[in-house]
Chain A
Amino acid sequence: MLRYTLKRLFQGLITVWFIATATFFAMHNVPGDPLANDKAATEEIRANLEAKYGLDKPLVQQYLIYMGNILRGDFGISFTQKNRRVNDIIAEHFPISAILGILAVVFAGLGGVLWGALTALYRNRLPDIIIMFLVILGISVPSFVVAAISQLALVNLNDAVNFSLLPVAGWGTVWHMLVPSLVLGLGTMAYLTRLMRSSMLEIVNSDYIRTAKAKGLPPTRIFANHQMRNAILPVVTVLGPSIAAITTGGFVVELVFAIPGLGRYFVQAVQQLDYTVIMGTTVFYGAFLVFMVIVVDLLYGWIDPRVRLE
């Protein structure tokens, strides 16, 4: 087990190094100039800027310097926020994205399992039809639409009760988290519901359930220990990447609800060709994703004894 974990961590490190290298060279080959701005810079101003950010050196040398800095845990200084270190940007804004993301994943996971089990149980009856219709909506409507509509609904709700029941936007208290995290988790919840439903249905007809029933086991044990526990496995598999996707993909929700998360900086950095922030956030998110996949694989072995970790 320990050996397996170490091996996976080492592989993960290689992956992150590869991500960093690929991003570095791809980024430098994107057309466009990170130092360009609305107003054209004179040659001397440009030269000053290039020297400040080390862009006057050959690319390979820039790469080596950058890698050395990463090893020392230094992501450099942002191009657009000229006096701010990328480390500070990540340290200040990632926790907010993470809180939002954790809550969204919890909503998505619990909701997905619950609705999925429910629809499987009431297959082709009214609850199933209603929930599956909502699931299709949840999967196909993009989050910026859901975010905008739910925000408008909040305004109307507050207007109707003539009191600020739930905040429309902003960050700071539990009430600020509720709606954005629901919106953020909605797509994943819908996806997990479908997954849970189909895996439940598959299991209902399997041999060991029939055996359990034939043995005369009480329905409680059949449903909880045999059906749910086995059906949940595929859900756990996709949960890892989902966690990473949700924590990193909150850009739209963060924008609409004015939440100071890292997603905003990530997207803006790419639009602005802010080299250091692109690199910092990509490496950070890459490492995060790799780590989550490893954690899920380890969890998998714990949930399903049939899976051997070697």
Chain B
Amino acid sequence: MTKHTPANQDSFTSSAGRQLLAFGAASIAGVIVLMMALSWASSLTSTGSISTDAVDVTNNTLTLFLREEPPQLNSSLSTDTVSGSVLGHVMEGLLRYDEHNRLAPGIAERWEINEDGALFHLRPDARWSDGKSLTAHDFVFAWQVALDPKTASEYSFILYPVKNAEAINKGELPLSDIGARAIDDRTLEVTFERPIAYFDKLVAFSTYYPIRQDFYESTDGSYGSDAHTLLYNGPFVISRWVHGANLLMEKNPEYWDLDRAKVDKLDFAYITSDASATLNLFKDDKIAYATLQAENLNNAMEQGWDIFRFMDGSVFYIEFNHRPERPTRNLNLRKAMLYAQDSAELVFKVTKLPGYLPGVSLFPVWLQGVNTFFRQEYPAPRAQLNLEKARYHLELAKQELGVEEIPPLVLLTGDNPISNIQSEYYQQIFSKNLGLDLKIDKQIFKQRLAKMLSGDFDLVLAGWGPDYDDPLTFADLFASFNLNNRGRYENPEFDKWVRVAQSSQDVQERMDAFGEIQQILFDDVVIIPNYERGITYVTHPQMRGMVRRAVGPDPDFTNAYIVE
């Protein structure tokens, strides 16, 4: 090995060091040139620049974010809540939800609904965003599109109360046989398949939004996939939609009620589902509202932000498998589990999510009853944690099943942080309190659905969100004929009350039916309620009038305005 003198080594090192310095400087210069070139290249992809603040008083603009990119904005195909929220700003149905979450006249200025059908009188000044008049034909066409088997709409079932709709969707009848008819441009006549008490609530749903035939056909199958392939009739129009990046709404000058929208532009400048990213954008004054996670709550309170809470409408519960070969078919086993857990403990001590309510009933707190809230008029029966009772039922269950020990039970669950905590809580508490052995089967979304459908579980952590503002959207879940009844619960008594609620025109009678259903759900322990989901969020102090709702477009910025 050659030995250099230290002096030699150092001169070599310093010379090489100088060269590296030069290399570094050249690199930085090179990178700057490269970045300028890339910036030019990216301007070709026309993403649109983003530099505005959350609240822009001079341009009367709010900057916001979307949790996800809307898959597409064809109202006859949309199923998800993000599309629902966007569509709610740019489209309007016969009826709509107002800022107090009450049904209000939309394109229809008045309507009559009776047992056989409905008559909607459209307002004469309703227009499409290209200035042409909006007519009753546009509704008939939209419903035909949704029911056409070729469209393959997943929400076509929501149109089934309309006469012949189901047969058309099956391909048994031609589209022209639909029980909806434009008597003239301003009058829409609907015939029902069977009597229905909540049709006014259904027509506010996005599948019932109008579509104009000539425009739909001109898009050649790409209706609603881009800003320019959609025709608008709501308070806003989409003037720019860069997929995955941003979506800009501007006030629709053709809308019949120009005073409704208060801001000129809604700039959904960011699309990300990352909660900390949106909170960082909010902190940086780039977006006007953000959702809070449990870990950010204290920080948000320290910052003195305006914190709000609302119930997003969804209910979560343990669903049992009632198929004959399953141990969970045994009522006493289900009762044992019911009395061995405490949803308040789950929500307040285990998951600790801000805004969540302990689950009590399948019917969430916000549902309307006859005069006030349903749950006030029909208080839900509650099970208190009672180990003695739980073990008593467990013993009965063992006797009835003829076993010494209950075999291990499979708890099917999704793969997200909340389900993980929740499933581990139940595994631990049922083991401690009842000596039951729960095997957690964690699956990603589509696989979990497949297993639910084929009945490959004993217990499953499930949930349900409402489609329309009526207790029936929850009540028919466990009817024997409902496809979403994945545990195959069957009870003729239950089905009977569902039929009453479906067809009765009398509010009191319907609510009584829901009360009976709530009681059966408890007596038969069809489910164990876990929680009702709540959302806590922060808003910019200069933004007012943002509307959150459990049913219908959420969040809704149509009525939002800026204070100085």
**Interaction A to B:** yes
A residues within 8 Å of B by Cβ?
A: 30-34, 36-42, 44-45, 47-49, 51-52, 78, 80-84, 89, 92-93, 95-96, 99, 102-103, 106-107, 110, 113-114, 117-118, 121-122, 148, 151-152, 154-155, 158-159, 164, 167-174, 176-178, 205, 210, 213, 219-220, 222-224, 255-258, 260-261, 264-265, 271-273
- Given contacts A52-B150, A81-B225, A260-B47, A155 and B283 within 8 Å (CB-CB): yes
17 A-B pairs within 8 Å (CB atoms) are namely: A31-B450, A33-B446, A41-B154, A44-B171, A45-B156, A81-B71, A84-B222, A114-B27, A154-B280, A164-B286, A167-B286, A168-B280, A219-B12, A258-B270, A260-B242, A260-B244, A271-B444
Say yes or no for B186: interface residue by CB 8 A criterion.
no
Q: How far is the CA of A117 from the CA of B16 in the complex (A)?
A: 9
Q: How far is the CB of B150 from chain A (nearest CB, A)?
A: 7
Q: Is the CB of A173 within 8 A of B49?
A: yes
Which residues of chain B come closer than 8 Å to A106, judged between CB atoms?
A: 30-31, 34
Q: How far is the CA of A213 from the CA of B2 in the complex (A)?
A: 11
Q: Which of B430-463 contact A (CB under 8 A)?
A: 443-447, 449-451, 453
Q: Is the CB of B11 within 8 A of A219?
A: yes
Q: How far is the CA of A39 from the CA of B286 in the complex (A)?
A: 36
Please pick, from A37, A82, A169, the residue contacting B277 in the complex, using a CB distance under 8 A.
Answer: A169
Say yes or no for B245: interface residue by CB 8 A criterion.
yes
Q: How far is the CB of B5 from chain A (nearest CB, A)?
A: 12
Which residues of chain A come closer than 8 Å to B23, judged between CB atoms?
A: 113-114, 117
Q: How far is the CA of A180 from the CA of B478 in the complex (A)?
A: 48
Say yes or no for B45: interface residue by CB 8 A criterion.
yes
Q: How far is the CA of A210 from the CA of B286 in the complex (A)?
A: 59
Q: Is the CB of A49 within 8 A of B270?
A: no
Top 7 nearest A-B pairs (CB, nearest first) are: A260-B244, A83-B225, A32-B446, A40-B483, A260-B245, A258-B272, A32-B447
Please pick, from B11, B38, B47, B246, the residue contacting A103 in the complex, using a CB distance under 8 A.
Answer: B38
Say yes or no for B354: interface residue by CB 8 A criterion.
no
Which residues of chain B come closer than 8 Å to A205, judged between CB atoms?
A: 1
Please pick, from B74, B246, B451, B483, the residue contacting A82 in the complex, using a CB distance under 8 A.
Answer: B74
Please pick, from A45, A118, A159, A171, the residue contacting B245 in the complex, using a CB distance under 8 A.
Answer: A171
Kindly report which residue of chain B lies nearest to residue A107, judged by CB atoms.
Answer: B31
Kindly report which residue of chain A lies nearest to residue B225, judged by CB atoms.
Answer: A83
- Given contacts A41-B154, A51-B152, A84-B72, A255 and B277 within 8 Å (CB-CB): yes
Please pick, from A95, A172, A174, A272, the residue contacting B50 in the complex, using a CB distance under 8 A.
Answer: A172
Please pick, from A84, A172, A176, A255, the residue contacting B274 in the complex, using a CB distance under 8 A.
Answer: A255
Kindly report which residue of chain A lies nearest to residue B38, judged by CB atoms.
Answer: A99
Question: How many residues belonging to B are interface residues under a CB distance threshold of 8 Å?
Answer: 85
Q: Is the CB of B271 within 8 A of A83?
A: no
Q: How far is the CA of A33 from the CA of B447 in the complex (A)?
A: 7
Q: How far is the CB of B165 from chain A (nearest CB, A)?
A: 11
Q: Is the CB of A174 within 8 A of B453?
A: no
Kindly report which residue of chain A lies nearest to residue B482, judged by CB atoms.
Answer: A40
Please pick, from A48, A118, A255, the residue contacting B152 in the complex, using a CB distance under 8 A.
Answer: A48
Residue-wise, chain B 16-43 has the 8 Å CB interface mask toward A (1 for contact) of 1101100110010011001110110110
Q: How far is the CA of A273 from the CA of B448 in the complex (A)?
A: 12
Q: Is the CB of A92 within 8 A of B45?
A: yes
- Given contacts A169-B270, A169-B281, A171-B50, A114 and B20 within 8 Å (CB-CB): yes
- Given contacts A36-B449, A83-B72, A260 and B483 within 8 Å (CB-CB): no
Q: How far is the CA of A264 from the CA of B222 in the complex (A)?
A: 22
Please pick, from A48, A164, A224, A255, the residue contacting B51 in the complex, using a CB distance under 8 A.
Answer: A164
Which residues of chain B come closer than 8 Å to A83, judged between CB atoms?
A: 72, 74, 77, 221-225, 229
Kindly report which residue of chain A lies nearest to residue B284, judged by CB atoms.
Answer: A168
Q: How far is the CB of A264 from chain B (nearest CB, A)?
A: 7
Q: Is the CB of A177 within 8 A of B2?
A: no
Q: How far is the CB of B528 from chain A (nearest CB, A)?
A: 20
Q: How far is the CA of A155 from the CA of B225 in the complex (A)?
A: 34
Which residues of chain A come closer than 8 Å to B276, judged between CB atoms?
A: 148, 151-152, 256
Say yes or no for B508: interface residue by CB 8 A criterion.
no
Which residues of chain A come closer than 8 Å to B534, judged between CB atoms?
A: none
Q: Is the CB of B170 within 8 A of A44?
A: yes
Q: How far is the CB of A168 from chain B (nearest CB, A)?
A: 5
- Given contacts A32-B450, A82-B77, A264 and B244 within 8 Å (CB-CB): yes
Q: Is the CB of A158 within 8 A of B284?
A: yes
Q: How far is the CA of A92 from the CA of B241 in the complex (A)?
A: 12
Q: How far is the CA of A13 from the CA of B310 in the complex (A)?
A: 55
Q: Is the CB of A155 within 8 A of B272?
A: no
Q: How far is the CB of B149 from chain A (nearest CB, A)?
A: 5
Kindly report which residue of chain B lies nearest to residue A114, judged by CB atoms.
Answer: B24
- Given contacts A171-B50, A256-B272, A121 and B284 within 8 Å (CB-CB): no
Q: How far is the CA of A205 from the CA of B4 in the complex (A)?
A: 12
Q: Is the CB of A173 within 8 A of B39?
A: yes
Please pick, from B74, B272, B484, the residue contacting A39 in the complex, using a CB distance under 8 A.
Answer: B484
Q: Is the CB of A82 within 8 A of B72?
A: yes
Which residues of chain B come closer than 8 Å to A92, judged between CB atoms?
A: 45, 243-244
Q: How far is the CA of A152 from the CA of B284 in the complex (A)?
A: 10
Q: How far is the CB of B292 from chain A (nearest CB, A)?
A: 16
- Given contacts A83-B74, A102-B38, A121 and B17 within 8 Å (CB-CB): yes
Q: How far is the CA of A48 from the CA of B153 in the complex (A)?
A: 8
- Given contacts A83-B224, A260-B242, A121 and B16 within 8 Å (CB-CB): yes
Q: How far is the CA of A223 from the CA of B151 in the complex (A)?
A: 68
Q: Is the CB of A118 within 8 A of B20?
A: yes
Q: Is the CB of A220 within 8 A of B286?
A: no
Which residues of chain B come closer than 8 Å to A159, judged between CB atoms?
A: 283-284
Which residues of chain A come closer than 8 Å to B273, judged between CB atoms?
A: 255
Question: Beyond A32-B450, A38-B465, A39-B154: 14 further Cβ-contacts under 8 Å?
Answer: A42-B157, A45-B156, A45-B169, A83-B222, A92-B45, A99-B42, A103-B31, A114-B23, A155-B280, A159-B283, A173-B49, A176-B50, A224-B19, A258-B281
Say yes or no for B269: interface residue by CB 8 A criterion.
yes
Say yes or no for B79: interface residue by CB 8 A criterion.
yes
Q: Is the CB of A255 within 8 A of B24?
A: no
- Given contacts A83-B72, A83-B222, A151-B277, A172 and B286 within 8 Å (CB-CB): no
Kindly report which residue of chain B lies nearest to residue A222, judged by CB atoms.
Answer: B12
Q: How far is the CB of B38 from chain A (nearest CB, A)?
A: 5
Which residues of chain A come closer than 8 Å to B50, judged between CB atoms?
A: 167, 170-172, 176
Q: Is the CB of A265 within 8 A of B244?
A: yes
Which residues of chain A come closer than 8 Å to B74, judged between CB atoms?
A: 82-83
Q: How far is the CA of A31 from the CA of B72 in the complex (A)?
A: 26
Which residues of chain B come closer than 8 Å to A265, judged between CB atoms?
A: 244
Kindly report which residue of chain A lies nearest to residue B269, judged by CB atoms.
Answer: A170
Say yes or no for B239: interface residue by CB 8 A criterion.
no
Say yes or no for B491: interface residue by CB 8 A criterion.
no
Which residues of chain A come closer than 8 Å to B150, judged between CB atoms?
A: 48, 52
Which residues of chain A come closer than 8 Å to B358, judged between CB atoms?
A: none
Which residues of chain B come closer than 8 Å to A210, judged between CB atoms?
A: 2
Q: Is the CB of B483 within 8 A of A41?
A: yes
Which residues of chain A come closer than 8 Å to B19, judged between CB atoms?
A: 220, 223-224
